[in-house]
Amino acid sequence: MFKKILYPTDFSDVANSALDFIKQLKEAGAEEVVILHVIDKSSLDALAMYTSKDFLQIEKDWEANAASQMSSIADELKEAGLEVKVRIENDIPFRGILKVEEDEDVSVIVLGSHGVSNIQEMLLGSVSEKVIRKAKKPVLVVKR
């Protein structure tokens, strides 16, 4: 049913909770997981405006940090018997997710209801809400 899963993560607690659901989908026939972290391009741009640090170095540091965190997630999913692909994108988060959904031709998107942002929408985080509205494939949302 869901052979290829897109798992966007911002490394928040609720995103980490989605891993349990992904492992359960393995028992239902899932074979591969694409782990995605989207570095928020608007945050990078804003940071570049207000710091004297080298913009390219900041971007490299964020990518290295994301790759490090994604490595442990990938190991956990491989131990569960899933094939794993890791992607890091620089984009507006919901746009990056939708782009990878199409690029990878996934069967389902599994994501957390809220991310690391302290700003909360009434029912869902703004990224998850936009993904739900615009995704072409089914979306499984894991609540806090």
pTM for the full model? Answer: 0.87
Query: Virtual CA dihedral for 18, 20, 21, 24, nearest 10 degrees?
Result: 160
Distance (Å, whole) CA 25 – CA 101: 18
- Segment 3-18 shows an average pLDDT of 92
Alpha-carbon separation of residue 124 from 19, 52, 95, 117, 118 (angstroms): 19, 35, 17, 12, 12
Q: What share of the chain is helix, strand, coil (3-state, %, to 5)?
A: 50, 20, 30
Q: Per-residue pLDDT tens for 113-132?
A: 865 554 444 444 688 889 99
CB atoms within 10 A of CB 30: 24
Q: What token pair was written down for 109?
A: 């998107």
Q: Are the C-beta atoms of 27 and 1 separated by less than 8 Å?
A: no
Residue span of the structural domain in which 63 resides:
4-142
CATH at residue 63 = 3.40.50.620
Structural domain total, the chain: 1
How many CA within 13 A on the CB side of residue 60? 5
Q: Per-residue pLDDT tens for 30-59?
A: 999 999 999 988 777 676 666 666 767 778
